[in-house]
Structure 1
Amino acid sequence: MNQLPNTSRRQFLATTSAALAAASVAPYALAEEAPKKKQLPIIDCHQHLWDLSKFKLPWIKEGTLLGRNYVMDDYNKAIEGTGISHAVYMEVDVDPSQQKMEVDHLSEICESKKTPTIAAVVSGRPAADDFTTYLDYFKDKSVIRGVRQVLHGGGTPGGYCLSKEFVRGIHALGERGLSFDLCMRPSDLGDGAKLATECKGTRFIVDHCGNADPKWFATAGEGKTSADGAKIEQWRSDLGKLARLPNVVCKISGIIASVPKEWSSDDLAPVINQCLEEFGPERVIVGSDWPVCLNGASLADWIKSLREIVASRPVAEQERLFSKNAIALYQLKL
């Protein structure tokens, strides 16, 4: 099965929870107290890659910013000077007929040890009748650490993730030591909390700060909208429900793609700080969401802004956010 040897579902969750709480990760030696001017290394937990000559991505529109190939050479250039040392690939919603191709392609990349990408979260449809058969396809590929199905697109209705078929599939992930990424509309985060409560044996990762829109918090002005109190309060409430569940982790990612044309770190700080406070230093990780982030800013500008926002936090907390939590969560060996 695709899990650590002789590790049960309960042991897997207990092991990762303990590791996250203690933040004591043997394979990755970081200084007890890094010098203030030293750039702490980052593990990018949300890296996209696609080659449109090999894969069909139905959501990509020709002629748009994202309507071209984004491959490893492009990523390597994008992370120069950012401090990103390793990456976890995130599925790109390939045509379902190509899901096994995605598994094989990413397994080859990760196992080569020639790129920053060392683990992968692949596409999957938990409610499908053959979902467990699909999971068995990569049961011996230890670099595959989780599955995602985007729940805010393709006409997916609210409540979809609470069907008995979907819940069955999520239980199957936990039994195999695999995680599930919650990428959903902010208004559906309550459904995510219900799912995580129902499936306590599965680890969940909330993508993109729960898809909060930084413009909700912006003050009125050129290129900005007024604060949206109702949406903010619902997001905060449902984010809090997720944060109270010990099997849920929050990924600080994605929100840069929605910034106003003129933006600063102040536009991102309310969302980021809320997530950090709700989940605490032990249950947060970082993702670039490259190249989708380019809709708002470069990968380098996103990382620079994130570093600015958390700069006043203790170095130990920054280390957990930037790398240690990811190592424990995904059981990475660097």
Structure 2
Amino acid sequence: MIPILDTHLHLVYPERFSYPWLAGAPALNRAWRVEDYLAEARPLGIEAALHMEVDVAEADIEAETAFVTGLEGVVGAIAACRPESPDFPAQLERLAALPGVRGLRRILHQAPDELSRTPLFAENLRRLAAHGLSFDLCVRHDQLALGRDLAARVPEVRFILDHCGAQDIVVGETSPWREDLAAIARLPNVMAKISGIIAYAGPGWTLDSIRPYVEHVIECFGWDRVVWGSDHPVVTLGGSLTDWVGATRRIIAGASADEQARLLHANARRIYRIGERPSP
């Protein structure tokens, strides 16, 4: 069984941190601890994970990042940030100094489009290059042009498109997502994360209904520019971690062992620079 490095694990510790958005997500509004995740993940071949920020209250961003990087099985973190703020340079220096920080993310799929269009936002993201940090791009399918514009303005930074760029898409309706995904894939500094699909597909998904999304992402980005993520526990909105790992392995079963390994762990180690110091 080819091992997996999960690049998109969310952990929730409500006794430690504040997550205001969870009040509107009752199915997820509870603790999600690393030991419970590992109990399911390890038998599936998931050997390690990168923690993805969980949109904690802004005051908790640095504390969340410092905490999760000390947990068993977590080999790094993508930290939250606020590139729209004039104070971002100082925030970046503090986050980059934390051991294990591999990249940053600012959730854009629930933010006004104007947030990422300002010169300040792009100027601040350029600062990531000096620290060897990537930026996870979390946009809806109807914002792919917005994401492409941002990545094009910051070519020196590596962007990872979360959730196949297909958030909120109705499974079976692939246009204009197919065309917009192909357009953003033409930027050499953009990678794609195969994650989130069954959460957004809903509980009625089938292997045949989600296969076109996974295969189109791989076709557009190639086997060297894709990584895999569980999106746990958001994945539970459409099934389970076990379901998603099983579906992924079945969809890519026809690929070579080398291609599968690149998607499931090798690319992630290179793109997120696992095992390296994050400075260039």
Q: Same fold (TM over 0.5)?
A: yes
Give 1:47's aligned residue.
Answer: 9
TM-superposed deviation, 1:213: 5.0
Give 2:243's aligned residue.
Answer: 301
Give 1:183's aligned residue.
Answer: 138
Higher RCO, 1 or 2 (CA under 8 Å, sep at least 6)?
A: 1
Identity of aligned residues (%): 37
Secondary structure at the counterpart of residue 313 of structure 1: coil
Mark the CA change 1:260 to 1:94 in structure 2 (over 3 Å): closer, same or farther. closer
1:254 paired to 2:216: no
Give 2:220's aligned residue.
Answer: 278
Could you tell me whether the CA contact under 8 Å between 2:13 and 2:33 is conserved in 1?
Answer: yes
1:241 paired to 2:190: no
After superposition, the CA RMSD in angstroms is 1.6
Could you tell me whether the CA contact under 8 Å between 1:214 and 1:255 is conserved in 2?
Answer: no
1:148 pairs with 105, 108, 118, which one?
105
Greater CA deviation, 43-52 or 134-143?
134-143
Q: Which amino acid aligns with 1:245?
A: L
Mark the CA change 1:99 to 1:213 in structure 2 (over 3 Å): closer, same or farther. closer
Could you tell me whether the CA contact under 8 Å between 1:213 and 1:255 is conserved in 2?
Answer: no
Q: How many residues align?
A: 276
Q: Name which one, 1 or 2, has greater alpha-carbon Rg.
A: 1
Give 1:129's aligned residue.
Answer: 86
1:86 paired to 2:48: yes
Q: Distance in 1 between matches of 2:25 and 2:249?
A: 33
Q: Which amino acid aligns with 2:31?
A: N
Q: Which amino acid aligns with 2:240?
A: S
Instruction: List runs of 5+ in structure 1 lacking aligned partners.
Output: 1-38, 110-114, 218-227
Instruction: List runs of 5+ in structure 2 lacking aligned partners.
Output: none
Per-residue CA deviations over 1:192-212 (Å, capped at 9, x if unaligned) read: 111111101101000000025
Q: Which amino acid aligns with 1:55?
A: F
Give 2:158's aligned residue.
Answer: 203
Give 2:23's aligned residue.
Answer: 61
Instruction: Compute the TM-score of the two structures, normalised by the length of structure 1.
Output: 0.79
Q: Which amino acid aligns with 1:90?
A: M
Mark the CA change 1:325 to 1:63 in structure 2 (over 3 Å): closer, same or farther. closer
Could you tell me whether the CA contact under 8 Å between 1:215 and 1:260 is conserved in 2?
Answer: no
1:168 pairs with 109, 123, 140, which one?
123
Q: Distance in 2 between matches of 1:245 and 1:133?
A: 29
Secondary structure at the counterpart of residue 236 of structure 2: helix
Give 1:98's aligned residue.
Answer: 60
Could you tell me whether the CA contact under 8 Å between 2:19 and 2:57 is conserved in 1?
Answer: yes
TM-superposed deviation, 1:105: 1.1
Q: Distance in 1 between matches of 2:187 and 2:223?
A: 15
TM-superposed deviation, 1:262: 2.8
Mark the CA change 1:247 to 1:299 in structure 2 (over 3 Å): closer, same or farther. same
Instruction: Compute the TM-score of the two structures, normalised by the length of structure 2.
Output: 0.94
Secondary structure at the counterpart of residue 129 of structure 1: coil
Mark the CA change 1:275 to 1:333 in structure 2 (over 3 Å): closer, same or farther. same
Give 1:117's aligned residue.
Answer: 74
